[in-house]
Amino acid sequence: MTTVEIKSLLHESIENINDKALLLSIKDLMTKKGKKFDPVVKQLKGWIHSLELPQRWRTDGIAPPSYDCKKLAGKVAETLYKDFSIIPIRIAVSIEEGIYLKYKNFDNNKVLEIEVYNDNLDIAAILTKNNQVIKSADIEKENFFEMVKLFNE
C-alpha cells in the first residue's frame, strides 16, 4: 500500500466516524491550531521545558534558563528537525545559564553543538570533528544553513 493510499484510507475512515466527539478528538490529535501535529517536535520541546538547573549550580549563583531561553531553544530544535532532519543526542542546561543542544553525524563523526544563552538570547554554534574545530559562529536570525551544510559534508 502506498503512502497516498494509506492517507486516503485514513481520511475515509475518519470521515465515516459517527461520534462527533471522537472525530474531533482524532482531528485534534492530528492538528494543533491549524498546524500539523508532530510528536517529535512535541517531545523535543517537552524535553527542553522540563530541564532544571542542578542544585549545586544554584548555590553557586548560576541562574536557570528563562522561559524565553527555553522557548527559543525549542524553536531551534524544531527548525533543525523540520528543515534539516537532525535530532539532538543531548539537551541540557549549561553552566553559562543557557540551553545546550548536541548533534552528532554518525556517518562522518562530526559534532554540532549549539547554545542558546539566557541573558540576551544569542545563539552560538561550534562544529567539530575528532575534537578539532571546523567552524564556530554566532547564529543570526536562526539561520543554520551553513553550519548544517558543513555538518553533513
CA distances from 55 to 52, 58, 69, 81, 117 (A): 9, 5, 19, 31, 19
CA 129 from chain centre, in angstroms, equals 22
The average pLDDT across 2-18 equals: 52
C-alpha cell at 150: 558543513
Report the pLDDT value the prediction gives residue 8, as an integer from 0 to 100.
54
pLDDT band at 32 (very low <50, low <70, confident <90, very high): low
- For the chain, the structural domain boundaries read 1-37, 38-152
- Mean pLDDT, the chain, rounded, equals 83
CA–CA gap between residue 31 and residue 28 (Å, rounded): 5
Report the pLDDT value the prediction gives residue 140, as an integer from 0 to 100.
83
Write the pLDDT tens digit of every residue in 35-78.
677 899 999 999 999 999 899 998 899 989 999 999 999 999 99
Do 115 and 96 meet the contact criterion of CB atoms below 8 Å apart?
yes
pLDDT band at 23 (very low <50, low <70, confident <90, very high): very low
CA distances from 107 to 2, 21, 77, 112, 116 (A): 29, 47, 20, 13, 26
Write the pLDDT tens digit of every residue in 79-113.
999 999 999 999 999 988 899 999 999 999 999 99
